[in-house]
Structure 1
Amino acid sequence: MSIETLSPAAIAAELGARLKQARLNADKTQVEVAERAGVTRKAVLNAEKGKAQLEVMIAILGALKLTAQLDNFLPPQDISPVQLARLQGRKRQRASGQRAATGQEPPEW
């Protein structure tokens, strides 16, 4: 099964099933995970069905000590050369040189 061909709902359900398997592999009950994550058991149940808010999912991953897996899920993205060029804008082409002294003292305030 290629996850690329699944609908968003099917991908969410697959992630929920994987989360449930991770909980079972850790030999934890839904109540134990919920207490450790600071959410309700119903929130854990919903997450395992693929119907969780992102913050709840992250809390559950933390309770299962799986937050390091988030780097595999969505690795940090480097900035593209095109985007970098846009951010830098136009570079200076020449130096402005020394400003000539006007011979006036700054005003006293």
Structure 2
Amino acid sequence: MELKKISPLAIAEELGNRLKQARLRADLTQSEVASRSGLSRRTILNAEKGKVQLENLVAILGAIGMVEHLNMFLPAQEISPIQLAKLKGQQRQRASRSKKRETQSKEDKPSW
């Protein structure tokens, strides 16, 4: 399935369908998944329709033993040493002093 040409709603529905297939493959009922995840059966039903909050999706994946698949879904992004060096060069070490503040403080001091 080429996801570029599909609407976000259709992708969410497809993910919900895949979640349902994974639950069935694990031979679990919606009630069992709800009990294991600490969610309501209605939340599981909605998730299988593609209507799920991210936190609930993670709980459901944990309940069906698939939470490790999140690494394939969205792999961690490694920062290369070159990118790290570039970022470090831009990192501020201290705040610069405002010239406006210096002139104001001189004006505020009494001249006596």
> How far 1:81 sits from its partner (Å)?
5.8
Identity %: 60
What is the alpha-carbon distance in structure 1 between the residues aligned to residue 43 and residue 17 of structure 2? 14
Of the structure 1 ranges 81-90 and 20-29, higher mean CA displacement relative to structure 2 is found in 81-90
More helix by share: 2
After superposition, give the CA deviation of every residue in 1:11-48 in whole Å (9 maximum; x if it has no partner).
11110000000001111100000000000000000000
What is the alpha-carbon distance in structure 2 between the residues aligned to residue 39 and residue 8 of structure 1? 25
> How far 1:87 sits from its partner (Å)?
2.2
Equivalent residue for 1:41?
Answer: 41
Equivalent residue for 1:31?
Answer: 31
Of the structure 1 ranges 34-43 and 5-14, higher mean CA displacement relative to structure 2 is found in 5-14
Equivalent residue for 2:18?
Answer: 18
User: Letter of the aligned partner of 2:14 in structure 1?
Assistant: E
TM-score computed with the length of structure 2 as normaliser: 0.74
> How far 1:3 sits from its partner (Å)?
1.8
What is the alpha-carbon distance in structure 2 between the residues aligned to residue 36 and residue 64 of structure 1? 8
What is the alpha-carbon distance in structure 2 between the residues aligned to residue 22 and residue 47 of structure 1? 12
After superposition, give the CA deviation of every residue in 1:28-81 in whole Å (9 maximum; x if it has no partner).
100000000000000000000000000000000000000110010001101256
Gaps of 5+ in 1: 91-109
| Residue 55 (structure 2) pairs with residue 68 (structure 1) | no
What is the alpha-carbon distance in structure 1 between the residues aligned to residue 42 and residue 32 of structure 2? 12
What is the alpha-carbon distance in structure 2 between the residues aligned to residue 73 and residue 35 of structure 1? 25
What is the alpha-carbon distance in structure 1 between the residues aligned to residue 51 and residue 16 of structure 2? 8
What is the alpha-carbon distance in structure 2 between the residues aligned to residue 3 and residue 81 of structure 1? 32
Structure 1 residue runs of 4 or more that deviate by more than 6 Å after TM superposition: none
RMSD (Å) for aligned C-alpha atoms: 1.5
User: Letter of the aligned partner of 1:16 in structure 2?
Assistant: G
